[in-house]
Amino acid sequence: MNKEKRNFTCTTCGYKTIKWVGCCPECQEWNSIQEEKQERLKWATKGTNLTVSMVSLDTVQTTALKRMLSGIGEWDRVVGGGIMPSSIIILTGDPGIGKSTLLLQISHGLSHNYKVFYFSTEESLQQVKLRANRLGCIDSKLLFSDHAELENIIATALQHKPDIIIIDSIQNCYGAQTTTIPGSISQLRESVFYLMRLAKENNITVMLTGHITKEGTIAGPKTLEHIVDGVFYLQGEDRWQTRILRSVKNRFGPINELGFFEMQHNGLIEVPNINEHLLNEVSYSPGSVLISVIEGSRPLLLELQALIIESKLAIPQRVISGIDHKQVMLIAAILEKYLHIKLSKHDIFIKVSGGFKVKGSGIDLGIALSLLSSYFQLPLPQKSIALGEISLPGQIKPINQINIFIREAEKFGIKTIINAHNQKIEKTKCTMKSFKNVYDLLSLFKE
């Protein structure tokens, strides 16, 4: 007797198994395995007319698409210069981070030039109006609905042909013909698929908000991220009321692009000059050094702080935040090898101010100088920045795009650039302190 094939899928990570288990082997989440009915595809047989026509690309007619600008510069820049028509994108982030606030501000800006439908599946229209009043986003051109049934949303879009539909959020949408609860893995995948077809076949741009898991990734299977054109994360920063908008997937623009906002009573306010905020709290004290990294198209000026103290433990402590642990340990090993400074017998504490996480070999020199500055308890020159890579033999190497960093540093009054001796640099007003190897760095700490 043939039994119906059964498949079970994890609602958190998309892991598949043929039997139910209490804990997902992939993500270790409990009670996340749900049964998913499998429908077999009906393959074409002889005599059936299921073929499609094939064409050469030189016969395909194309038109230049004008991007949709919201008037919010940070958003428009992160999405690649405006939203691409007929695209489908997801905005996700922690609960209460400001996704609905940002989306309402974006929809209000877009409604000046485009027909926008906003479907609030999580809040009533009264709740949405309270937020809109606070944000100053009441506009007769921007139309709302609190319906969450996907069939009704698609039918409304097909009938009225808006330029943009916004659904806040996709986890609360449900299909009338399905028995699974909203937010389940099968319903999410099906809902996003139909919305993707709506966007591509009817020239309607679709914007969604989505929940995230406790690990900070978008909730639902990875197939959701493959289906959509763009995935954008709105993240919070611990110290300020700053929100960071990060592009992690964008078919029509750069990835890893960052936008900065400040949460205020009247909504999310753009922070175009984030480096001005970052530099306001730089101390230039022993153990402090400025570094720079490029996120997307923007160079960020960040303070790196180190604290070196003689350890009283058998195994010295290593507390590192914002940088790869192995990168710091590698630089510490190079300094100990060639400068004979016993960092292995000291506790090392190092962090990037502002809660940022940075990576790349261009911050090697900054790490080395912060460690040496803290060890000798002597500060680096005021308003200086370190830009360089350190090789395993202790040589200081040039970095790519250094002139971009220097131009950004000049805007904010940086006067000294610490770099590799053979670095090619454009004309600048900054003073250059160039070094060949880690031995030469000791000259910075001679009293």
DSSP 139-207: -TTEEEE---BHHHHHHHHHHH--SEEEEE-GGG-B-TT--SPTT-HHHHHHHHHHHHHHHHHHT-EEE
Same domain (yes/no): 76, 210: yes
Name the token pair of 190: 């099906």
CA torsion through residues 175, 178, 179, 180, sign = negative
Same domain (yes/no): 239, 376: no
* 90 within a domain of the structure (yes/no): yes
What lies within 8 Å, CB to CB, of 113 at 6+ separation is 68, 69
The answer to whether the beta carbons of residues 308 and 343 sit under 8 Å apart is: yes
What lies within 8 Å, CB to CB, of 47 at 6+ separation is none
Q: Quick one: pLDDT at residue 145?
A: 94
Q: Which stretches in the chain have pLDDT values below 50?
A: 1-2, 41
The overall pTM is greater than 0.85: no
* 57 within a domain of the structure (yes/no): no
Same domain (yes/no): 297, 248: no
Residue owning tokens 């890893």:
256
Question: How far, in Å, CA of 366 to CA of 441, rounded?
Answer: 11
- Write the CA distances from 174 to 158, 181, 198, 261, 299, integer angstroms: 18, 7, 16, 32, 43
pLDDT tens track for 150-174:
999 999 999 999 999 999 988 888 8
Q: Quote the domain boundaries for residue 22.
A: 1-38
Helix (H) or strand (E) holding 390: strand 389-390
Q: Quick one: pLDDT at residue 368?
A: 96
pLDDT tens track for 248-305:
999 998 888 889 998 888 889 998 888 888 888 788 899 999 999 988 778 999 999 9
The answer to whether the beta carbons of residues 315 and 286 sit under 8 Å apart is: no
What lies within 8 Å, CB to CB, of 209 at 6+ separation is 90, 91, 92, 99, 100, 103, 167, 168, 169, 170
Helix (H) or strand (E) holding 73: helix 73-78
Same domain (yes/no): 183, 315: no
Q: Quick one: pLDDT at residue 1?
A: 43
The amino acid at residue 28 is: Q
The answer to whether the beta carbons of residues 417 and 375 sit under 8 Å apart is: no
For the domain that residue 128 is a member of, what is the CATH number?
Answer: 3.40.50.300
Question: How far, in Å, CA of 188 to CA of 195, rounded?
Answer: 11
What lies within 8 Å, CB to CB, of 1 at 6+ separation is none
Chosen domain end from 240, 255, 271 = 271
* 332 within a domain of the structure (yes/no): yes
Q: Quick one: pLDDT at residue 297?
A: 78
Same domain (yes/no): 384, 331: yes
pLDDT tens track for 387-397:
999 999 999 99
The amino acid at residue 10 is: C
Q: Quick one: pLDDT at residue 420?
A: 92
- The bridge status of strand 116-120 relative to strand 164-168 is parallel
Q: How many domains does the chain have?
A: 3
Q: Quick one: pLDDT at residue 329?
A: 95
Same domain (yes/no): 256, 284: no
For the domain that residue 339 is a member of, what is the CATH number?
Answer: 3.30.230.10
The answer to whether the beta carbons of residues 252 and 230 sit under 8 Å apart is: yes
